[in-house]
Amino acid sequence: MLTVTEVEKIILDLIKPIKDKEFVSLLDATNRILAENISSVLDFPYWDNSAMDGYAVKYTDVSIATENNPVSLKIVEEIPAGYCPQKTIAQGETARIFTGGMLPQGADTIVIQENTKREGDKVLVFVSPPTQNFVRHKGSFYRAGDTLLSAGIKINPPEMAILATAQCINIHVVRSPIVAILSTGDELITPDKELKLGQIIDSNQYLLASFIQQNGGIPLPLGIIPDDETALENAISQALEKADWVISTGGVSVGEYDYVDKVLSKLGGEIKVQSVKMKPGKPLTVATFGDKLYFGIPGNPVSTMVTCWRLLKTALEKLSGKTNYSFPSIVRGITRNYLRSDGMRETYLWGNVNLIDGYYQFTIADGSHSSGNLVNLQGVNGLGIIPIGTNLIEIGDDVKILLVN
């Protein structure tokens, strides 16, 4: 049985990021991974402009202005944002200018309106500003031709704005990974069926589909596979043809009806992991089929979710072509509850994290912490981690916390 850290490294070393590209419109680019470096023929800002509402002046005209000895300037033009100035500012002149307005020729400094008083077609300046005050110079944010955005980054709202500013209305992105989802077990039914004694409604298809979609993949739910070796073999074989990854839940323990490992070997898979020292989530199978990965994870929904948070999120980011993929965010805080474990495996207890007075504080979720109890997973944003060899973390003691959601 391998440690969580060992399994994490094995998985990441096995992943070969997707290289295939797609051409998409900007409006469809959110959450996608940029496939090529982006540069622009434009400088940013496009031209010198004002960062404040005020007056565009020559610095030499206002360098000696004081409250008791204001400088009077003639207003020759008004420049709102989007307007091209028509006048050149001469000595003793100024232009009323608004935030984003283009700096007129002859002006080099902005005097904010709070330091002025307008009198008809003149303005009194009561403060000497620093030279070039509140002027955003052409190209000061970005020079045309330089790399603006690098391949391998995720396109979030700021990147969307940058792409729009660069007039990139169609861009190349990495093809989104396709992840097939199988649920195994005769006891499972879909949510639309009437529940009979002994049956279980399959929630994992929906849990995994949401998780995959949330993390940039395309879920391919393939339904429930009965505890039949031939049926499972056919389902896994078809899934491998259609997807980059296959994730199955259930069937990876040591019961008489758990066929996954046997079927994987029969299909030519190379099994790299068979269990992990993690609670919940011990029965974990990782196998390779060429560049494709197969994950057989426990059927209990909490085990499924914890496995996704701890091991699959980073892996999915790397598969998607993201170069700066993020490792699990583990912080140190204090616990507001007693946290108990048998000490045999790295144990994850779910709950809520708050940042109070600069300290992360972890509160365990109410109710049973059975791996089958998905009800108290709602609203969870952190997992308290009890390391191997530790049986108890007392109230107020330090605890490592995996931040999720």
- At 252 the pLDDT is 63
Report the CATH number of the 330-403 domain.
Answer: 2.40.340.10
Mean pLDDT of all residues in 92-118? 98
Cis, bond preceding 177 (omega within 30 deg of 0): no
Q: Kindly report the number of other CB atoms within 10 A of residue 357's CB atom.
A: 5
101 within 8 A of 79, measured Cβ to Cβ: yes
Instruction: Give CATH for domain 21-41+146-174.
Output: 3.90.105.10
How large is the average pLDDT for residues 203-207? 96
| 99 phi/psi in degrees, rounded to 5 | -55, 125
pLDDT tier at 291 (50, 70, 90 boundaries)? very high
pLDDT digits (tens, 9 = 90+) for 210-239: 999 999 999 999 999 998 889 999 999 999
pLDDT, tens digit (0-9, with 9 covering 90-100), for 52-73: 999 999 999 999 999 999 999 9
Mean pLDDT along residues 175-202: 95
CB 337 within 8 A of CB 383: no
User: How confident is the model over 140-155, as pLDDT tens digits?
Assistant: 999 999 999 999 999 9
What does the pLDDT read at residue 255?
Answer: 57
CATH topology of domain 4-19+175-319: Molybdenum Cofactor Biosythetic Enzyme; Chain A (3.40.980)
pLDDT of 41 strictly over 80 = yes
> Averaged over 7-20, what is the pLDDT?
97
Q: Is the pLDDT of residue 257 over 50?
A: no
Domain ranges of the chain: 4-19+175-319, 21-41+146-174, 49-136, 330-403
Average pLDDT over residues 188-192: 94
CATH of 49-136, one of 2.170.190.11, 1.10.287.3510, 3.40.50.300, 3.40.1280.10: 2.170.190.11
Residue 303, pLDDT score: 95
| Average confidence (pLDDT) over 160-188 | 96
pLDDT of 405 > 90? The answer is no
pLDDT of residue 253: 60
